[in-house]
Amino acid sequence: MTAANPPEVETGDSRADEDPEPLTRREVTARRWQLATVAIAVIVLDQLTKAWAVDRLPGDPIEGPWGSSLTLVFNRGSAFSLGEGLGPVFGVLALVVGIGMFWIVRTVRERSLVFGLGLVQGGAIGNVIDRAFRDGDGFLGGAVIDFLKVGDWWPVFNIADAAIVVGGLIVVALGSRA
């Protein structure tokens, strides 16, 4: 034994350095169903709350504690009402993300990570539905309905936005462990 050729250290787990087995077709199908179930739940909740907001909040906002309120806003920009006029670009990106999740999930082992991806997918598609089916100019030119306001320091948002943020945090937190 020389310094140039140190002995190999046995870790005790010969699988530690190997790639894990790919998911079976059944596991991939189960992950896709979980992803779709979470996404559909987010989409339904998002669209129901937006329909309620459009019906009940067209006048004065409903004030809540600590400066919060339910305030109806028609957002033609991107997140936090930035990027006015770029709605179609963000709509196409959201569609790509939503469809891409079905491809990505085939390699995801942790169910909680699939849950986070489902939140992101549902939120993205929920906002695309607004852009596609609400009154607006041209392709995906409709306004996204925002109505949740938390103080004067945070932009008005909706359930889809909250799902995207929470899902993104889950993906980052769990993805960093992988």
* C-alpha torsion 105→90→132→62, nearest 10: 100
Measured in degrees and rounded to the nearest 5, phi and psi for residue 134 equal -90, 160
Q: Is 146 a catalytic residue?
A: yes
Residue 61 region, left (φ>0) first, then alpha (ψ -120 to 50), else beta? beta
Distance from C-alpha of 113 to C-alpha of 69, rounded to nearest angstrom: 32
104 DSSP 8-state letter:
H
Among residues 13, 55, 135, 161, the one annotated as catalytic is 161
Whether 131 and 91 have beta carbons less than 8 Å apart is answered as yes
Rounded CA gap, 63 and 153, in Å? Answer: 15
Assigned token pair, 169 = 């945090």
Residue 130 designated active-site = no
Beta-strand runs (E) in the chain: 62-63, 69-75, 144-149
Catalytic residue among 19, 55, 60, 146: 146
The set of catalytic residues is 146, 161
